Amino acid sequence: MMTSTHQEIFHNLNCCDTYYIVVGIAYLARSSRMGKVKDRRRSSSSGSLKSDKMYTCVHCGHLSPHIYKTYSLSSENLMKLLECRKCGKLVDKYIEYDVIIVAVNLLLLHQPAYRHVLLNDPFSSFWKLGIIFPFCEAYCHWCFQKGMETSPNRVDFYELENDFYRVLLRTAIGAAVFHGFILITAFIRSRLFRNMVRQNFSYMSVLKGTCMCGFYSIFELVSLVWSFKRMDSQYVFIYGIQWFTNVQSYIATTTATSPTSYFIVGIAIGLKLISLQLFDEHVPVLDFLNLLNKEKGLLNRNGSRRYARVAASNRVDNWKMDGTGKYPTIKDFRYNETVEFRRCGMQPLVAYSGSSSHFEKGNPMHLESGFLRSRGSGQVSFMVAHNFGLSSLEEGEIQGKEIKLKSQSIGRMTGAKDPSVTEIERVFTLTDENTLVQKLSMKTSTTTVMTEHLVATYTRE
């Protein structure tokens, strides 16, 4: 666990990052709004809005050639909003609203606000939002994954920053799947239901809507100020916002019905989540479990950084074997054993557990569990506890495809049987993609020479 000082520093740094990101996004939105107003004023100098573009009534969706007219009185220009010929309401009242008011209406899922932004607003740099919001989403996911509560120390935390690029790629793939499905369905609707598509329909307005509706990531960004733990309620809230806002956007740009829009956007979000899940499963981070293959080897001298880049999911690798045991004070024996390696969140370690049984009878014999941890620069530590009252702390280094460990301290439970173990040496060797060999030697209170005790050859399940 991180110390309280490290937690405070980490939290303050991320609060500052969150603050500057939010302020930057607000400044971008404000700047674009001011530029939009200036463009309108320049275009209205003739007294009316002269353009080949057809505008959309934000209330009924009817097309209109003008939104407002201007009248010159002495040195001042007066602007009069025009009414829709179909519904009799103002074509677009939002052109006089401040960007904050428009944003609030978008958040409240007011359909007129979505028509204004997506169909009438001249803001053309929406692609910037399509970049900024995925960056925010990736940053939030990265923070939730590395988790302040699970990072063991500052050194490991900074090593974990390399994983941000993987998280960014993950987010980009999810966004591409989502945007792509929405655009494909819009294309299909425009071909199959031509009579139901508005005259000024464009795929850019659909893409503009999906980019704009990525603002749900801002809520995740703000939540980092309080906690780096993501709860189930946050998932429901965030994806709920994404669902409802994109539904309003889809209705505004394609004139689809509400049930159809809810269905299409729901499928798009589902495909996005599936793609993220597949990415996590098939594009793993280089760590201890995934380095147990012929391409990477067990671990190498640069394995400390790879250890630190641990994926968030608690993936498990299971190995089974038939082994032999011997020692001068006991009879030779055979046994079966199953071992498990499990990732521990974003910490640079794996949890280890093993259980052995009698080779013929199948009776339980020995249980052990512990943690194998990287200490940096190819150094590793292995802490394990045994059910017969022994605990050991073993340390060593990575040499090619081997991990060589030697006990640094031995703990013994009161009442444990003699002879007692005084020293342990252990070697893990990866011989091929699916074969792992463990050799264990030890000294006891009666056998003072390091003697081989167990040889186990594991096969990946």
Tell me, yes or no, whether 313 and 428 share the same domain: yes
Beta strands in 207-329 (DSSP E): 316-327
- Entry pTM: 0.55
> Residue 290 domain-assigned?
no
- Other CB atoms within 10 Å distance of the CB of residue 190: 17
The predicted structure's pLDDT at residue 44: 42
Tell me, yes or no, whether 214 and 95 share the same domain: yes
The answer to whether residues 345 and 310 touch, using CB atoms and an 8 Å cutoff, is yes
> Residue 295 domain-assigned?
no
- Any residues with CB less than 8 A from the CB of 198 and at least 6 apart, and which? 56, 61, 63, 255
> Residue 188 domain-assigned?
yes
Please give the chain's pLDDT, 461 residues, in tens. Answer: 444 444 444 445 455 555 555 555 555 555 544 444 444 444 443 334 444 578 888 888 888 888 888 877 655 677 788 888 888 889 888 888 888 898 888 888 899 999 888 888 877 777 888 888 888 888 888 877 765 444 444 444 444 566 777 888 889 999 999 999 999 998 988 888 777 666 677 888 888 888 888 888 888 888 877 766 777 777 788 889 889 999 999 988 888 888 999 999 999 999 999 998 888 777 654 443 344 333 333 333 344 333 333 333 445 678 888 888 888 888 888 888 888 888 766 567 788 888 888 888 778 888 899 988 887 777 889 999 988 888 999 999 888 788 899 999 999 888 888 888 899 999 988 888 788 888 999 999 888 899 998 888 888 87
Tell me, yes or no, whether 278 and 313 share the same domain: no
> Residue 17 domain-assigned?
yes
Q: 214, 248, 282: which is the final residue of a domain?
A: 282
The predicted structure's pLDDT at residue 303: 41
The predicted structure's pLDDT at residue 146: 65
Tell me, yes or no, whether 393 and 444 share the same domain: yes
> Residue 298 domain-assigned?
no
Of 42, 185, 202, 20, the residue nearest 126 (C-alpha):
202
Residue whose structure tokens are 């239901």: 193
Tell me, yes or no, whether 326 and 429 share the same domain: yes
Task: Taking each helix axis as running N to C, give the angle between helix 216-223 and helix 232-254, from 0 to 180 degrees, rounded to the nearest 10.
Answer: 160
Domain span at residue 9?
Answer: 4-282
Number of residues assigned to the chain: 461
Tell me, yes or no, whether 198 and 331 share the same domain: no
Alpha carbons 239 and 245: distance in angstroms, whole number: 10
Tell me, yes or no, whether 319 and 265 share the same domain: no
Tell me, yes or no, whether 352 and 272 share the same domain: no
> Residue 289 domain-assigned?
no
> Residue 288 domain-assigned?
no
Residue 413 sits in a domain of what CATH number? 2.40.128.20
Alpha carbons 392 and 443: distance in angstroms, whole number: 13
The predicted structure's pLDDT at residue 273: 92
Tell me, yes or no, whether 231 and 320 share the same domain: no
What does the block give as tokens for 88?
Answer: 């009799």
Q: 217, 251, 282: which is the final residue of a domain?
A: 282
Q: 282, 317, 337: which is the final residue of a domain?
A: 282
Tell me, yes or no, whether 114 and 226 share the same domain: yes
Tell me, yes or no, whether 214 and 84 share the same domain: yes
104-111 — which CB contacts under 8 Å span 24+ positions? Answer: 106/212, 106/215, 106/245, 109/244, 109/245, 109/248, 111/58, 111/248, 111/251, 111/252
Count the domains in the chain: 2
3-state helix, strand, coil in the chain (%, to 5): 45, 30, 30
> Residue 145 domain-assigned?
yes
Tell me, yes or no, whether 328 and 187 share the same domain: no
The answer to whether residues 87 and 60 touch, using CB atoms and an 8 Å cutoff, is yes
